[in-house]
Amino acid sequence: MKRRTVIPFGPQHVVFPEPIQFRLILEEERVVDAIPALGYMHRGIEQLATVKDFTKTLYLAERICGICSVMHTLAYAQAIEELMGIEVPPRAKYLRTIWAELGRLQSHLLWMGLAADAIGYESLFMQTWRAREVVLEMIEFTEGSRIMTGSITIGGTKRDLHAESLEFLLHKLEHLEQALNDIYPVFSDDPLIKQRTVGVGLLSKADAIKLGAVGPTARGSGIAEDMRLLGYAAYGELDFQPVVETSCDSYGRMLVRVKECFQSIELIRKAIAKLPPGEVLVKVKGRPEGEVIMRIEQPRGELLYYLKAGGDKSLARWRIRTPTLSNLPPLVHMVKGARLADVPLITLSIDTCIACVER
Amino acid sequence: MSYPAGLGIILATFLLAPVVGGLLTGLERKVIARLQGRVGPPLTQPFYDLVKLWHKRPQAANRIQIVYVYAHLFFMVTSLLAFLLGQDLLLILFIFSFATVALILGGLSVDSPYSRIGSQREIIQLVTYEPILVLLVIAYYQVTGSFMVSQARSLEQPLLFTLPLVLISFLPVFIIKVRKSPFDLATQLHEPHQELVKGIITEYSGPYLALIELASWYELVFLLALVSLFWATNWVGGLLLAAIFFFAVTVIDNITPRVTYSWMVKFVWKVGLGLAVVNVAWLYLWK
Amino acid sequence: MLTNVRLISKDDLLETVQELARDNYRLLSITATEIAGGFDLIYHFAQGMTMLNLRFSIGYEQEVPSITPFYFCAFVPENELKDFHGIKIANLPINYRQLFILSELTPVKTPLAPRAAAASGTEVLPE
Amino acid sequence: MAWVSSARKRSPWLLHYETGGCNGCAIEFVAALTPLYDLERFGMLNTGNPKHADILVVTGCVNARSGRVLRNLYEQMSEPKVVVAVGVCACTGGIFHDGYNLAPGADKVVPVDLYLPNCAARPEAIIDALLTAADLLAETRRRDQHAHQRAPDQQG
């Protein structure tokens, strides 16, 4: 029998800033087994929601994850609105769409940078994060803060966009598109990047269904599923098609994300063009009662909320199923048999967000 | 060589080489930062790092590790010294490899998986580039008729004109030795983004890391001196050649991702070794 | 709202899930809620954009069969059920023994099932 | 010696550990390394290896499992060392402070020298905090070992 080495991969590791531990069992440099160990970020949000006021839980939802904070507030607000039967003004729906897409842009750019970093491509990492700063500038200008914006609330949005803000957005989007046009060919054509990603971390379509892959991971394996097609917020009125790649490897998943950046830019432009006038916030009275399931497309995939409220001040149950949790079994499947040098990239290729997983 | 000149070279090796090596490292970090659109650290940054590391509280996993660090530095300084004194090239490269072996043994002496796997990769790197160095020595002997480094200065035309392909095949060796992307498999000194944390030097800290850093400066100067051997007839030419090499490596580092070791072995043996063999064969058949 | 719910009994679970697996449904998640005297379990499935929820209730002491033979990925939510609610799952292949997300240092056992906390007697092994 | 402390001030190497929380501060810390903010111009490197680092940057709230890792990392760093708690979660536990799994603040596990309460901390604030930490590093202090408080795993 070959000699086996056990490498503790994480929880503190430079490649990804988040703590997850993989105990990798190696034969020489090939991984024969990977055991994920979670729990380094568990905060007990589901339990906190059962003791806090349901309006304050909104802020808790925002702090499930700092990267997709907008998505969590959006999902939570929509779920509560559905429970209480509130109709959100159309302008607020469009604003929510714009912010959600900005959030997706910054998340995808962040991921692209980390992926470049994982394969040791310093320069590309810096260039993508430089482009990301443009998005953060837009977010800060329109929402008031870089990460925790608090701009979406139950019943609408807290802020409105004026004509000059929209002009600023359009202007910056052009900058961003230029930067992305420079970055895109590097990701799609660079021979050394291809050498590191093509055929690495294979996940066939059948496996993706069986193991419950969602989001870009599933779309990289040829499954055309995008929760935005459900038509929540203003997505029903904006025409778009999900980005699908059929190469089933890290390269495919990478391309899905890069292409989705362009798609997001298009969606924001369409939303700005169609933005209806009117109010952005309706008054909310009463307490939620009943059960609801909310599915939303996060940058990382499908987010599933199950809310149960009994007419009390706080919720009876708030079940958060985040995309990364669903993508963990495919990840374990992909890591088995990979080379040690490819493990960081494969782990990143599902866009792990441990803060979401552990709540 | 006269006695005072030899003494001068010894002094220069001990005093000037680390200064030059440190400044070059600082320059390289600055250039990389500029290529990435950043301001970058000051030119003297490596010296601050060295002083700071030297004054941290020493922590070592075991005693033998410390011995290997000193051995690494000693062999590195010796190889540079022997080179500047115009000694036998074969011997010099032998000592140079021994410096690497000392580092590998140090990495293997601790019970850390990162350090162990880093050492294994360093061994693979050693195996990868060593044949090219041997061919370099053979080609050198064919042209000059001697193994002595001092012989290169008395040639009529620079070595570059007879050994152009050998110089090109030396480029991957240079990249491997200075631990730059795409061949930064075993460790990196200033870029932390690695699946093995720091690879072979993970378990060194404080003053011992400072010694490794110092050795890497000597190494850089030695490798650049080896490059300048290809234009040893004229010191301007040698300096120019070394400068071109230095900037080429810095740029390549910036525009390539890290590759896997199997790809590295294939590439270096196919392209690097191939070019060197062609050059040597050409010398045999036509000269 | 919660739509497309199919009420089943605990004994029908494996059979129903097998049918769904044959029809290429995806498993989204499993949700448990503590109700009086036991738990309310919902298995969320989806085919494309449409969801299907299987629902049944169990008592505190009752055991639920694992659906990992049909959906391997079910080990993640099933371990969560063990962690947060202390629900007993039979034949779980990857069993973290209530240490999936919670650690042995966590002062509270089964935080989402406060009423059942006292009843939970599962052995907690050190890491 | 003056030149030693000057070197320490100009070359602090960082170790970042995200103990929990929402990643917001962690991402802002990484953003501080990138071209717009560029921490490296102050000589700071993100090493990722506790044995090489001088400043431990803690982001996020400390929970039962990560507290032990944090403690372990802190003990692997050699003196002199400084700990910076970035973000309100690392300072007090923030919005999650009454969670069942948390220690209210990183200072319950390791001695913290600098607090940066913010949600989420901006890169400018992080740079400011790190520069202040570098100044602290220059004053070669030996910290009282008794000041170490007990880790949550040692609490009853």
Q: Is residue C85 part of a domain?
A: yes
Contacts of A12 in chain D (CB under 8 A): 15, 17, 48, 50, 69, 73
- Using a CB-CB cut-off of 8 Å, the residues of chain C touching A230 are 49
Mean pLDDT throughout A18-45? 77
Query: Cβ contact (<8 Å) for A66 and D99?
Result: no
Of C2, C49, C101, the CB nearest to A229: C49
For the segment B120-172, what is each residue's pLDDT rounded down to a tens digit? 888 888 888 888 888 888 888 888 888 887 777 777 777 777 788 888 888 88
Q: What distance in Å separates the CA atoms of residue A236 and residue A230, rounded to the nearest whole number? A: 7
What residue in C sits closest to D155 (Cα-Cα)?
Answer: C105
Q: Is B131 helix (H, G, I), strand (E, B) or coil?
A: helix
Q: Residue A304: its pLDDT value, please?
A: 87
Which pLDDT score is estimated for A197? 84
Q: Is D104 on the interface with C (CB under 8 A)?
A: no
**Mean local confidence (pLDDT), A13-38:** 73
**Closest in C31, C51, C111 to A47, CB measured:** C111
Q: How crowded is residue A3: how many other Cβ atoms within 10 Å of its Cβ?
A: 7
Residue of B195, B267, B271 to mutate, interface with A, max A Cβ within 10 Å = B195
Q: What is the pLDDT of residue B152?
A: 75
Residues of C in contact with D152 (CB under 8 A): 105
* Contact between chains at B260 and A339 (C-beta distance less than 8 A): yes
Over range C34-56, report the average pLDDT. 84
Chains A, D: CB pairs < 8 Å: 128
pLDDT(A1) > 60: no
**CB of C66 closer than 8 Å to CB of C91:** yes
Q: Does the pLDDT at position A325 exceed 80?
A: yes
Which chain D residue has the Cα nearest residue C103?
D65
| B260 φ, ψ (degrees, to nearest 5) | -85, 160
CB-based contacts of A142, cutoff 8 Å, min separation 6: A98, A99, A102, A151, A159, A161, A165, A168, A169
What is the rounded average pLDDT of the residues A229-246? Answer: 83
Which pLDDT value is given to residue C117?
Answer: 58
CA distance C101 to chain D (A): 9
Contact D40 B58 (CB under 8 A): no
Selecting from A8, A26, A196 the residue whose C-beta is nearest the C-beta of B257 gives A196
Fold of the CATH domain D19-137: Rossmann fold (3.40.50)
Q: What's the CATH code of the domain at A308? A: 1.10.645.10
CB contact (8 A) between residue B36 and residue A122: yes
CATH of the domain at C27: 3.30.460.80
How sure is the predictor about B191, in pLDDT bands with cuts at 50, 70 and 90?
A: low
Q: Is residue A87 part of a domain?
A: yes
pLDDT score at A15: 57
pLDDT tier, B193 (very low <50, low <70, confident <90, very high otherwise) = low
What pLDDT is stored for residue C18 in this prediction?
Answer: 85
Position D120: which residue type?
A
Q: Is the pLDDT of residue B97 over 60?
A: yes
pLDDT digits 0-9 by tens, D58-81: 888 888 788 888 888 888 888 788
First to last CA, chain B: 31
Q: Which chains touch C (3 or more CB pairs under 8 A)?
A: A, D
**Is A17 domain-assigned?**
no
Question: Which domain, by its residues, includes A228?
Answer: 47-358
Q: What is the pLDDT of residues D14-35, one digit of tens each?
A: 888 888 778 888 888 888 888 8
Is residue A10 in some structural domain?
Answer: no
Q: How many domains does chain A have?
A: 1
In this structure, is residue A132 part of a structural domain?
A: yes
Q: Which of C28, C31, C49 is facing A230, going by the closest CB pair?
A: C49
Specify if A162 maps to a domain.
Answer: yes
pLDDT of residue B147: 83
- For residue A317, is pLDDT > 70? yes
D100 touching C, CB under 8 A?
A: yes
**Partner-chain contact D41 B41, CB within 8 Å:** yes
Is the Cβ pair B36, A123 closer than 8 Å?
yes
Gyration radius of chain A over CA positions = 20
Q: Using CB atoms, pick whichever of A44, A63, A126 lies closest to residue D35.
A: A126
Comparing alpha-carbon positions, the chain D residue that sits nearest to A46 is D99
Two tokens, residue B110: 């601790």
Dihedral sign (CA A270, A77, C2, A65): positive
The answer to whether residue A4 sits within a structural domain is no
Model confidence band, residue B192 (pLDDT cutoffs 50, 70, 90): low
Considering A94-98, A326-330, C37-41, D143-147, the range whose residues carry the highest mean pLDDT is A94-98
Structural domain of C38: 5-116
Instruction: Report the 3 state secondary structure along chain D.
Output: CHHHHHHHHHCCEEEEEECCCCCHHHHHHHHCCCCCCCHHHHCCEECCCCCCCCEEEEECCEEHHHHHHHHHHHHHCCCCCEEEEECHHHHHCHHHCCCCCEECCHHHCCCCCEEECCCCCCHHHHHHHHHHHHHHHHCCCCCCHHHCCCCCCCCC
A130 touches D at CB < 8 Å: yes
Judge: A326–C73 Cβ closer than 8 Å, yes or no. Answer: yes
Mean pLDDT computed over A133-152: 86
User: Which H helix or E strand runs over A278?
Assistant: none
- D contacts of B202 (beta carbons < 8 Å): 49, 51
Q: Residue A18 and residue D26: Cβ atoms within 8 Å?
A: yes
Average pLDDT of chain A? 84
What is the model's pLDDT at position A313? Answer: 82
Contacts of D102 in chain A (CB under 8 A): 43-44
d(CA A219, CA A229): 14
Q: Is residue C39 part of a domain?
A: yes
Subunits with 3+ Cβ pairs within 8 Å of A are: B, C, D
Chain A CB contacts of D24 below 8 Å: 63, 66-67, 69, 147-148
Domain boundaries, chain D: 19-137
Q: Percent of chain B having pLDDT more than 70?
A: 94
**Measured between CB atoms, which of D34, D47, D120 is closest to A66?**
D120
Share of chain C above pLDDT 70, in %: 87
Task: Kindly tell me if the per-residue pLDDT of A5 is higher than 80.
Answer: no
* Interface probe, candidates A147, A322, A324, A348, chain D, greatest D C-beta count within 10 A: A147
Residue B194's pLDDT is: 60
Mean pLDDT of the A191-209 span: 83
Q: Tell me the one-letter amino acid at B265.
A: V
Distance CA A65, CA A110 (A): 14
pLDDT exceeds cutoff 80 at A321:
yes
Optimal mutation site among B180, B193, B255, interface A, most CBs of chain A within 10 A: B193
Confidence class for position C122, pLDDT limits 50, 70, 90: very low
Q: List pLDDT tens digits, range A241-300.
A: 888 888 888 888 888 988 899 989 988 988 888 888 888 888 888 888 888 888 888 888
Tokens of A233: 């917020």
Contact assessment for residue C64 and residue C89, using Cβ atoms and an 8 Å cutoff: yes
Residue B122 sits in which domain range?
A: 3-286
* pLDDT score of B98 more than 70: yes
Q: What percent of chain D is predicted at pLDDT more than 70?
A: 88
The predicted structure's pLDDT at residue D89? 86
Average the pLDDT over B189-207 and give the result: 70
- Is it the case that residue C120 has pLDDT exceeding 70? no
